[in-house]
Amino acid sequence: IMVTELGLLICFFVGLHFGGGQKVVALHNALSGFWGAVFWIGVFFIGILIPLIANMFVSDRLKFNKNFIILVSIFDLIGVLCLRYFILYAGQLTTA
């Protein structure tokens, strides 16, 4: 799911980049400053990168540990909440 989410985010940002005009300005504003920190730290690092790396490099015995599953799920949920926060509030700052 995380790889699919990453692909969809890439499609979203590529669409903004090639949209021209105000969409490019919105893309720049979204990926820099405060909202850039929310995206890069909250969505990308905590919500995608940590769970993906944890699932790729952890032994099979640890993958099925209840505490590991809960921890990875918490990281993923934090990323999802940051993404919703990012889309909702950063989207309100731009004009259509």
Q: Any idea how long the chain is?
A: 96
Instruction: State the maximum Cα–Cα separation within the chain, in Å, rounded to a whole number.
Output: 51
- Tokens read off for 90: 């950063």
Per-residue confidence at 23, pLDDT binned at 50, 70, 90?
Answer: confident
Cα distance between residue 65 and residue 58, in whole Å? 11
Tens of pLDDT along 28-43? 888 888 889 999 999 9
Q: What is the pTM of this model?
A: 0.81
